[in-house]
Structure 1
Amino acid sequence: MTQNFRHNSDLTAIVVGPQKKKPAVKTQEEVFDSGEHLTFVWRAVWLILAIGLFGLFLWGIRSWVLHSNAFLLKSITVRGNRILEKENILKNVSFKKNMRLTDVELSGIEGRLMKNPYLKSVVVFRRFPSTLEIEVEERSPVAYVSGKKLWMVDDEGVILPPLLGGETLGLPVITHTGKFQEKIGEAVKNKKLRKAVWLLSMMKTLDKNLYYQVNNVDYSVQKGMVVYLNKRSFPLYFGDSPAVRQIAYMQAILKKLKRERRVANVQYIDLRFENQVVVK
């Protein structure tokens, strides 16, 4: 079906429609005459000034920190030490008089502190305005070991010197495991000694009460590792390859003997067998 239009103008309006007017492009002279370029220039100037003022502000803070007496090193705190006294930990480091906290070389301090064989790890950091904090992890001695002299040894087999002042820690003693390299701060390579250290370390981890009952660990060619307890004359045989299960057997049998009041009659306890404990 064809629709008729009354006027040609109607057809023109439908087909052609209104024409959009294109925006006029300003010439360079018109931009300069309107002053729009000055707005961009002022924005750039203000940005440069803001950056400059912020830089001066930071420089002022830095200068104040470097020269203010508020940041003089006034105190040193040590955390994490249970065996060593603060003075013993700090014996390898020294600080200049009126030294600023910002002048302390943290990595250098850590390196000098780590010369102490009792320290396993050291972290040094600044606590503004005037405190240097030292956080240490000490090595944990598990036994004395008999060599040319009586050393201490930690749970990693590292040889430790006697404490200053001759203080003792009441640790078990490891004997007759053979010669070993008696070098402070280094782990022993003697396999028998390392097995004895492992045995005591596992006891300490699994049952501290049981560990503190141990008087000494001896090595016998026939019986391997032999453990003696405080106030008990009988030995406990662990063999050449101590295992966690033997410690569990030891816990159970000692409790049973104590409960049955048969401890006084025991001659020895043999833990060397897989699923059997021999008590005589």
Structure 2
Amino acid sequence: MFGKELRFFMGWWPFRRRYKPPVYREPLLVRLFRMILHVVALVVLLGITGGAIWFGINFYHFMLHSDYFQVRDITVDIASEPQTGDEAKVEKLVQYELQRSKIQDMNLLKVNEADLRKKLEAIPKIRRAEVRKVYPSLLVVSVEQREMRALVLQDGIYSVDTEGVVLESLSTRDPKASRYPYISGLDVGRLEPGMKIQSESLTKSIALLTCLKEQAPALFDKISDVRCDKELNQTLFLKGGVEIRFGREEPRKRMPALETFLSKMGPAEDYEYIDLRFEKQVTAMPKRVKTP
């Protein structure tokens, strides 16, 4: 009577028997062989890793401590256009810095190019430096000199370059003290070699001298002094006492007028002053001829 109901109840899902396949176990020898293979692979991997580490340590020691990469030759190239006459002095300063940094006999791989370049560019007379390694044992140093442009009178005589950087302090006996034009009328405080003078008056005066050197080199060689007042008016004095007044105007804008005047009216030495401050007009006062 209850057979069908019992079979239905036993076949209901929670009580239904599931088929379980027989568990297959590998033979002991197979499992042991597989374990041995894993151990061997691990030993080989550790051996390769250890060998690589050993090789790396020895290679590192060879690269950094071997005499093969020892600095044996140092080439110093002094670039200067035009020639300043200070090439030998600059080379001595470079050699001194190299000796102080103990570059000679150092391993070439240990030479810090950026650090050495900064040290060389800290020398007042050097504008730019480049350090290059040539393996296995050569170091090439190339430096560009600063171009001296004028002399500044400020509790002494100081030479400055085209960027307004103080190059050195000069004595009155130094040949450069009579070879380059002076810039006066500045108030820049105490000067030291290597410092850059922050002065608009100096910047304008250097720009005037650079313009004259490029466009009127014959006139540049005759310059004695450049004066720039507080209003930035520039006045040029030649060695014969001639006064050329440029005013506040950009000097390159007034150069054509000056060149035209000199070509038509004669050399600047024939005048007491030449005034370029007025647009489209050049005024001048001829020198008085001394009567016997």
TM over 0.5, shorter chain: yes
In the alignment, is the contact (CA less than 8 A) between 2:184 and 2:228 conserved in 1?
Answer: no
Structure 2 CA distance for aligned equivalents of residues 98 and 54 of structure 1: 30
After superposing the two structures, state which structure 1 stretch, 218-227 or 86-95, moved more.
Answer: 218-227
Structure 1 CA distance for aligned equivalents of residues 204 and 262 of structure 2: 28
Matching residue's letter, 1:153? V
- 2:62 alignment partner, one of 49, 61, 64: 64
Paired position in structure 1 for 2:73: 75
C-alpha offsets along residues 63-107 of structure 1, whole Å, 9 cap, x if unaligned?
Answer: 222333222221222335424431122323422774433444555
Structure 2 CA distance for aligned equivalents of residues 220 and 107 of structure 1: 39
Structure 2 CA distance for aligned equivalents of residues 28 and 248 of structure 1: 102
C-alpha offsets along residues 164-218 of structure 1, whole Å, 9 cap, x if unaligned?
Answer: 99563943322344564222222234543343124334x17xx624256321343
Correspondences of 1:146-165 after superposition (within 5 Å) = 146-162=153-169
Identity within the alignment, %: 22
Structure 1 CA distance for aligned equivalents of residues 60 and 107 of structure 2: 13
- 1:226 alignment partner, one of 215, 228, 235: 235
- 1:175 alignment partner, one of 162, 173, 184: 184
Structure 1 CA distance for aligned equivalents of residues 263 and 103 of structure 2: 64
Paired position in structure 2 for 1:216: 224
Match of 2:245, SS state, is strand
RMSD (Å), alpha carbons: 4.2
In the alignment, is the contact (CA less than 8 A) between 2:98 and 2:104 conserved in 1?
Answer: no
Correspondences of 1:101-120 after superposition (within 5 Å) = 101-106=108-113, 109-120=116-127
In the alignment, is the contact (CA less than 8 A) between 2:158 and 2:168 conserved in 1?
Answer: yes
Structure 2 CA distance for aligned equivalents of residues 90 and 28 of structure 1: 81
Change (3 A) 1:276 1:38: farther
TM-score, structure 2 normalization: 0.63
Match of 1:213, SS state, is helix
- 1:139 alignment partner, one of 127, 139, 146: 146
Matching residue's letter, 1:279? T
Change (3 A) 1:97 1:180: closer
Structure 1 CA distance for aligned equivalents of residues 132 and 277 of structure 2: 50
Matching residue's letter, 1:63? H
- 1:276 alignment partner, one of 271, 277, 280: 280
Paired position in structure 2 for 1:238: 246
Matching residue's letter, 1:89? V
Paired position in structure 2 for 1:260: 264
After superposing the two structures, state which structure 1 stretch, 47-56 or 82-91, moved more.
Answer: 47-56
In structure 1, list runs of 5 or more residues that go unmatched: 1-25
Change (3 A) 1:76 1:49: same
Q: Alignment length, in residue pairs?
A: 247
Structure 1 CA distance for aligned equivalents of residues 149 and 68 of structure 2: 45
TM-score, structure 1 normalization: 0.66
Structure 2 CA distance for aligned equivalents of residues 102 and 28 of structure 1: 61
Paired position in structure 1 for 2:16: none
In the alignment, is the contact (CA less than 8 A) between 2:237 and 2:244 conserved in 1?
Answer: yes
Match of 1:77, SS state, is strand
Match of 2:216, SS state, is helix
Matching residue's letter, 2:244? L
In structure 2, list runs of 5 or more residues that go unmatched: 1-22, 81-85, 285-292
Change (3 A) 1:242 1:118: farther
Match of 2:151, SS state, is strand
Structure 2 CA distance for aligned equivalents of residues 267 and 100 of structure 1: 66
Structure 1 CA distance for aligned equivalents of residues 166 and 271 of structure 2: 35
Structure 1 CA distance for aligned equivalents of residues 181 and 120 of structure 2: 28
Structure 2 CA distance for aligned equivalents of residues 84 and 150 of structure 1: 21
Matching residue's letter, 2:253? A
Correspondences of 1:187-198 after superposition (within 5 Å) = 187-198=196-207
Change (3 A) 1:167 1:54: farther
